[in-house]
Amino acid sequence: MSIPSLLILPGDGIGPEVMAEVRKVISWLSTERSISFEVSEDSVGGAAYDTHGVPLHDDTMAKAQAVDAVLLGAVGGPKYDNLDFNIKPERGLLRLRKEMDLFANLRPAQCFDALADFSSLKHNVVSGLDIMIVRELTSGSYFGEPRGIFKENNERVGINTHRYTESEIERVARSGFELARKRDNRLCSMEKANVMEAGGLWREVVTEVHKAHFDDVELSHMYADNGAMQLVRAPKQFDVILTDNLFGDILSDCAAMLTGSLGMLPSASLGSPMENGRPKALYEPVHGSAPDIAGQGKANPSASILSFAMALRYSFDMGNEASRIESAVESVLADGVRTSDLLQAKGEKPVTTSEMGDAILEALTKSL
């Protein structure tokens, strides 16, 4: 049996710092759990531009296509703000998503009890929150044609086309239903079927997929604007939310802020199965490159470590080890260990990026 392979792309800003802590967890699994990975590393974003003049080298793209999973840190920074649009650091990430055909974006929104007071909502509304948003990632308003800014009747008009095919809706719906089966067996599909033809097709296809293949999963439908309202009214009513690219972008950011800390949130982008049956996959924290604190040991590595836990669960079918890591992070937070982004009171002393990683490792060892 071949050793599972990982490509680490630390990227820019705090990316290298947080990914160094992920490497510690990978080493711990090898030493303490006899779970080994074939790990390689390369550059993406500004780091790749500095070396190759492009945000993602063709050789790196080929490596990403060949491995079982890609772990990415973050990309971007003010150093690259004046670059041409086509070679900005973010284009490296977009190329990975497009060429790997990562059509299903998984954004969990989990509020750890120790951080419930960080949310802008009341403690009892968000404490224990654990929902998953499945966002279609490669079609819809961001990719539909025609698009652009045109001249019409002596004035400019901006056009973006909200376009979906049946097959695009079906494959992301299948991903959502399969995920729901592994959770609480409930899925709420959100669109605007009342005013958008593409939304009407979305609802029809999701219903057809449900009836044909997943009738054991509880399915509900909701207009996306009502969904946004319900997320801030009573978010724990949801388990899995399935939605398109545009609404998913908005709803997942809304859900992220319910948890109280952007620095704690992981994500996964999944594609079609490879020859070994594993989906093409990229895992990354939701936070950005935070260039203002890069190199200072202030970054919170939790989101990157939790992203690796998602890789264990969704790429390698190691749910028990994923849960072990998630519980270790929760335990550390419950013990009051805090990086600078999680401090609330003056006088509290934060731990460094490395110290937070070490605390999580200690909690992992205690779990044995």
Strands 186-191 and 240-243: parallel
329 and 254 within one domain: no
Q: Please check whether residues 226 and 291 belong to one and the same domain.
A: no
Residues 239 and 137 in one domain: yes
Average pLDDT over residues 118-132: 91
pLDDT for res 303: 95
Rg (CA), the chain: 21
Domain that holds residue 160: 130-258
Query: Are 64 and 16 members of one domain?
Result: yes
Tokens of 294: 């890069």
Average pLDDT over the chain, rounded to whole? Answer: 95
Is 308 part of any domain?
Answer: yes
| 251 and 134 within one domain | yes
Domain count, the chain: 2
Given a contact cutoff of 8 angstroms between Cβ atoms, the answer to whether 239 and 187 are in contact is: yes
Handedness of CA 295, 301, 304, 309 (dihedral sign): positive
Q: Last residue of some domain: 199, 229, 258?
A: 258
Catalytic residues: 142, 192, 225, 249, 253
Mean pLDDT value of segment 127-131: 93
More confident residue, 2 or 51: 51
pLDDT (tens digit, 9 = 90+) per residue, 271-299?
988 877 888 999 999 999 999 999 999 99
Out of 258, 277, 309, a domain closes at: 258
At 297 the three-state DSSP class reads: coil
**Cis ω for the linkage preceding 146 (within 30 of 0):** yes
**pTM reported for the whole predicted model:** 0.92
Has residue 87 been placed in a domain? yes
pLDDT band at 346; cut points 50, 70, 90: low
Q: What is the mean pLDDT of the segment spanning 199-222?
A: 98
Q: Is residue 112 part of a domain?
A: no
Cα–Cα distance list, 91 to 43, 48, 99, 144, 149 (Å): 13, 11, 12, 18, 21
Q: Which of 203, 236, 258 is the last residue of a domain?
A: 258
User: Do 233 and 254 sit in the same domain of this protein?
Assistant: yes
Per DSSP, the residues of 12-46 read STTHHHHHHHHHHHHHHHHHHH----EEEE---TH
CATH number for the domain spanning 51: value is 3.40.718.10
What's the rounded mean pLDDT across residues 68-73?
98
Residues 6+ apart with CB under 8 A from 31: none
pLDDT at 310 over 90: yes
For residue 287 the two structure tokens come to 């936070």
> Does 286 lie in the same domain as 213?
no
Q: Is residue 92 part of a domain?
A: yes
Cβ-proximal residues to 256 (8 Å cutoff; 6+ apart), any chain: 107, 109, 262, 265, 286
- Of the pLDDT bands very low, low, confident and very high (cuts 50, 70, 90), residue 200 is very high
The answer to whether residue 113 sits within a structural domain is no
Question: Do 143 and 236 share a structural domain?
Answer: yes
| Predicted confidence (pLDDT) at residue 179 exceeds the cutoff of 70 | yes
Q: Is 115 a member of any domain?
A: no
Residue 117 counted as domain residue: no
Residue 265's alpha-carbon distances to 64, 132, 220, in angstroms, are 23, 11, 26
Do residues 303 and 362 both lie within one domain? yes
Is 80 exceeded by the pLDDT of residue 345? no
Q: Are residues 134 and 252 in the same domain?
A: yes
Shared-domain flag, residues 172 and 269? no
pLDDT for residue 347 is more than 80: no
Same domain as 282, residue 220: no
Q: What are the start-end ranges of the E strands in the chain?
A: 5-11, 38-41, 69-74, 104-110, 130-136, 144-152, 155-161, 186-191, 218-223, 240-243, 266-273, 279-285
CA–CA distance, 138 with 87 (Å, rounded to integer): 20
Structural domain includes residue 119: no
Contact 307, 325 (CB under 8 A): no
